[in-house]
Each structure stands twice: as structure tokens, then as C-alpha cells.
């Protein structure tokens, strides 16, 4: 028995277990993720097959690390590496994860279906924990704002956490249309998980989360109906589960307020220095960002330097609220243009817009869903400026890009 246990705990099995654990804990507390990644990196350091780095085909895979190498070289040339090193550390997983996955895992070692199952369970348990925490805070501590925005989403900013949850919803919908190997979640549980996570997204009041969620439901339900997979059982389950949605929308003032604010700010585009809502904040940051981009459109300012220039422009334009809050560009594409100019924008565009096209051509629809959700969130947040966004993007983009590349290589 002991010998069997020892044999099962070889380095390959430990690596497979490690990647599943990381997928599971990704939606939880950032400190846990950080230490887990450090432990994972240290383990990989001693067992990695560094000969794979000499393979020319693998160099194409390692093109992913250009998202970190470019900011590094830029700061090195500008002689600002010591001043803005902290900004590079935030993005370090963009460098580490592709190298670790390449040197430690053989092609197809990582079972994507199983990985997504663990991530789904992680998202489900973390959302349940957040919901129970808010229920306890509301009923036992008398906190009337227990279900408001960041009070509900305690592990990550609501915008980022709803991004995770929407990815899970997209994957479950895809599995309902065509079973994903090793994913193994029944139709009954699929409907329950989709409904619960959608309810959580609704209460979390992230408007990008709402838009993404509505698009997912609209697109996939349309496909399901067209393919005649929408039977009476599913219809009645969905109908019953719509009751809590209607109730929450009716009784929750935060949801009403944010929705009305979204509509009001979409119509009212007056030029004012007063910033009263997140919609106004984004509009003003985008306008300010374009001013900086025009100044250094080719190479940009550099990581960290661009953010400092943005703060100075806020102050110059009289946006005191945005200056005090130290806001970034609230758009990853604009942020990249500010920091790294056209060169950085082209790199990011390749790994988003070009790869979403390639994923559709190769029918890698998991990758398509992931990139679609990332692009939607890139439009309203500087996702790669925070740990919650960087780790999620680096982890899944690496695995899904490598999987696409392996298939492409096999065909050729």
C-alpha cells in the first residue's frame, strides 16, 4: 500500500495535482494564490526540463512572455528599473507561468476539461462563501450594505470576480452543447451552477459583469434552441430559477441605482469636471488617456511612468477626484498604448483579436470564450495592472494558447 502511494506520487502526478490546485484556489484569497504560485515555481525549478527551451517551436510558445519582456526592456533602456520594479512584479506571472508550463508539462499533459472542472468548483465554493458571509453580516451583524458590491465579493474586486464566474458560465454552456472531456458536470448541476453564479453576478452589480452575462445567456440559449436541445425539463427548471432573479431586481436598491446610472450616463454626455459615477470616471479617463497617447504613440511612456503621467494630466485638466483616487486608464488597450505605444498594442492585439479568430478556425471554443470575456473586460478595466487580472489571464491564456499551438503543430 505504501509502495503504491509512493509510486503514485511521482513528479508527473505532483505536477498534475499542482495545476489543478492552482485552478481551484484561483477564485479565493490573493495571498493564498501568491504563496501557492511561489511554492509551485520552486518545485518546478528543480524538476523542469530546460532542454525544451532550445526547441525552436517552443520559442513561438514563449512569445507570450513578450507581454512582460517589453515592459522590462523599456524600463531598462529608460534607466527606471529600480524605481518602477514593483509594477513589473505585479505582472511577473506573465513571465513565469509560460516558462513553467513549457518546461514542466509535455503537450497534452494538462487535461483542460479536468482543469476547468476544478476551476468551476473553486468559483462555486468561493461564491457560496461570499454569499454566506454577506447573509451572516446582514442578519446577525445588522450590516444593511452586506450585499453591496465589494462587501459581497470579499476575495476579489467584483469586476474581476464576475469575470471569473462568467468564464465558468460560458464553459458550462459549451459543455451542454458538446461534452468536454473530463469536465463531467451533469445537466441538472449545470443549470443550478449557471443560475446561482448569474444571481451572484446580478447582486455583485458589476456592469461589465452584467453585460458579459447577458451576452452569454443570449448567445448560448439561442444556439441551444436552434439545435433543439432546449427540452421541457430544462425550460421548467430555468423558469423556476428565474423567480429569485426577479425578486432581487425588485428589492435590491443598489442594482436599480447602478442600472439607472448606466442609462443616465450613456445619454448625458455633458463636459463637466465633476465625476459622480464610475461611468463618468471611465469616460473621463479614456479622454485623458487619448491625450497622452497622442504625445508618445509609438513607444509609450513605460510601465509605471505612464500611470504617473496620467495622474499629472488629471491634475492639469482639473479632475481632482480621479487624481486623488490615482485611477489608471480603465481600459487595457488604452493602458498598453500609454505604457508601450503601438508596439505593445500590436502584441496585445495579436494575443486577443488575432487569436480569437484562430481559435474559431481550429474550433477551440474554450479559448474563444476565454478571449471574448477578456476582450470585453479589457474595454472597461486595465486588467493586467492588478494581481487578480494578471494571474487569471496568464494562467488560462498560457494553457489555452499552448493547447491551440499543439493542435496546430500536430496538423502541420
Q: Using CA atoms, how far apart are residues 285 and 287, in angstroms rounded to an integer?
A: 5
Task: Establish how many alpha carbons lie within 13 A of residue 369's alpha carbon, considering only the half-sphere containing its beta carbon.
Answer: 24
Give the C-alpha distances (Å, rounded to integers) separating 125 from 39, 236, 383, 389. 23, 26, 23, 20
Q: Using CA atoms, how far apart are residues 264 and 272, in angstroms rounded to an integer?
A: 15
Provide the residue ranges of all domains of the chain, joining segments of one domain with +. Answer: 114-268
8 A C-beta contact, residue 398 and residue 64: yes
Q: Residue 6's pLDDT is what?
A: 45
Q: Mean pLDDT per 10-residue run, the chain (412 residues)?
A: 52 91 95 93 92 91 96 95 93 96 92 97 97 91 80 92 98 94 91 92 89 92 80 67 63 63 56 60 91 94 94 91 90 97 97 97 97 97 95 98 92 70
- Rounded to 10 degrees, what is the CA torsion of 76, 79, 85, 91? -40
Q: Residue 267's pLDDT is what?
A: 54
Of the candidates 279, 251, 247, 276, the residue with the CA atom closest to the CA atom of residue 263? 279
Q: Using CA atoms, how far apart are residues 189 and 238, in angstroms rounded to an integer?
A: 12
Give the C-alpha distances (Å, rounded to integers) separating 326 from 29, 155, 314, 354, 410. 24, 22, 9, 32, 48
Q: Residue 3's pLDDT is what?
A: 45
Q: Residue 408's pLDDT is what?
A: 87
Q: Using CA atoms, how far apart are residues 398 and 89, in angstroms rounded to an integer?
A: 18
Q: Residue 111's pLDDT is what?
A: 95
DSSP codes joined into one string, 182-194: TT---HHHHHHHH
Q: Using CA atoms, how far apart are residues 336 and 343, in angstroms rounded to an integer?
A: 9
Of the candidates 10, 3, 23, the residue with the CA atom closest to the CA atom of residue 97? 23
**Residue reference for cell 479568430:** 357
What angle do the packed helices 11-25 and 30-47 form, to 10 degrees? 160
Containing 325, the helix (H) or strand (E) segment is: helix 320-325
Containing 346, the helix (H) or strand (E) segment is: helix 332-349
Of the candidates 384, 378, 380, 157, the residue with the CA atom closest to the CA atom of residue 285? 380
Give the C-alpha distances (Å, rounded to integers) separating 29 from 38, 153, 323, 386. 15, 11, 29, 14
8 A C-beta contact, residue 257 and residue 212: no
**Residue reference for cell 513565469:** 96
Q: Residue 107's pLDDT is what?
A: 86
Q: Residue 262's pLDDT is what?
A: 59
Q: Using CA atoms, how far apart are residues 71 and 348, in angstroms rounded to an integer?
A: 12
What's the grid cell of residue 350? 495579436
**Residue reference for cell 493542435:** 407
Q: Residue 337's pLDDT is what?
A: 97
What's the grid cell of residue 63? 512569445
Q: Residue 5's pLDDT is what?
A: 47
Task: Establish how many alpha carbons lie within 13 A of residue 194's alpha carbon, considering only the half-sphere containing its beta carbon.
Answer: 26
What would you report as the CA-atom Rg of the chain, rounded to the nearest whole angstrom? Answer: 22
DSSP codes joined into one string, 37-96: HHHHHHHHHHH--GGGGG-HHHHHHGGGGHHHHHHHHHHHHTT-TTTSHHHHHHTTHHHH
Opening angle at CA 19, ends 86 and 331, nearest 5: 45
Amino acid at each position: 500500500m505504501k509502495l503504491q502511494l509512493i509510486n503514485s506520487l511521482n513528479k508527473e502526478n505532483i505536477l498534475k495535482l499542482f495545476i489543478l490546485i492552482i485552478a481551484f484556489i484561483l477564485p479565493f484569497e490573493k495571498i493564498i494564490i501568491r504563496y501557492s504560485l511561489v511554492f509551485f515555481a520552486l518545485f518546478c525549478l528543480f524538476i523542469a526540463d530546460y532542454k525544451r527551451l532550445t526547441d525552436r517551436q517552443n520559442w513561438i510558445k514563449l512569445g507570450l512572455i513578450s507581454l512582460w519582456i517589453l515592459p522590462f526592456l523599456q524600463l531598462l533602456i529608460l534607466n527606471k528599473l529600480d524605481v518602477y520594479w514593483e509594477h513589473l512584479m505585479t505582472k511577473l506571472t506573465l513571465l513565469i507561468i509560460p516558462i513553467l508550463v513549457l518546461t514542466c508539462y509535455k503537450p497534452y499533459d494538462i487535461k483542460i476539461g479536468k482543469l476547468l472542472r476544478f476551476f468551476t468548483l473553486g468559483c462555486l465554493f468561493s461564491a457560496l462563501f461570499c454569499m454566506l458571509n454577506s447573509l451572516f453580516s446582514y442578519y446577525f451583524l445588522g450590516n444593511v450594505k452586506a450585499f453591496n458590491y465589494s462587501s459581497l465579493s470579499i476575495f476579489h474586486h467584483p469586476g474581476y470576480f464576475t469575470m471569473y464566474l462568467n468564464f465558468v458560465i460560458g464553459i458550462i454552456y459549451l459543455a451542454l452543447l458538446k461534452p468536454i472531456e473530463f469536465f463531467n458536470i451533469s445537466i441538472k448541476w449545470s443549470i443550478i451552477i449557471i443560475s446561482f453564479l448569474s444571481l451572484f453576478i446580478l447582486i455583485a452589480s458589476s456592469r461589465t459583469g452584467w453585460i458579459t452575462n447577458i451576452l452569454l445567456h443570449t448567445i448560448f440559449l439561442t444556439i441551444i434552441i436552434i439545435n433543439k436541445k432546449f427540452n421541457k425539463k430544462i425550460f421548467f427548471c430555468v423558469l423556476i430559477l428565474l423567480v429569485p432573479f426577479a425578486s432581487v431586481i425588485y428589492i435590491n436598491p443598489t442594482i436599480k441605482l447602478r442600472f439607472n446610472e448606466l442609462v443616465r450616463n450613456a445619454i448625458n454626455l455633458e463636459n463637466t469636471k465633476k465625476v459622480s459615477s464610475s461611468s463618468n470616471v471611465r469616460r473621463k479617463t479614456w479622454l485623458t488617456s487619448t491625450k497622452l497617447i497622442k504625445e508618445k504613440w509609438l513607444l509609450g511612456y513605460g510601465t509605471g511612468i505612464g500611470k504617473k503621467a496620467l495622474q499629472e494630466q488629471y491634475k492639469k485638466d482639473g479632475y481632482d477626484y480621479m487624481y486623488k483616487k490615482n485611477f489608471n486608464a480603465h481600459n487595457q488597450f488604452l493602458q498598453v498604448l500609454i505604457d508601450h505605444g503601438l508596439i505593445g498594442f500590436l502584441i496585445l492585439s495579436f494575443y486577443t483579436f488575432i487569436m480569437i479568430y484562430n481559435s474559431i478556425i481550429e474550433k477551440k471554443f474554450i479559448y474563444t470564450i476565454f478571449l471574448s470575456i477578456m476582450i470585453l473586460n479589457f474595454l472597461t478595466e486595465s486588467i493586467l495592472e492588478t494581481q487578480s487580472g494578471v494571474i487569471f489571464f496568464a494562467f488560462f491564456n498560457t494553457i489555452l494558447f499552448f493547447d491551440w499551438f499543439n493542435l496546430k503543430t500536430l496538423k502541420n
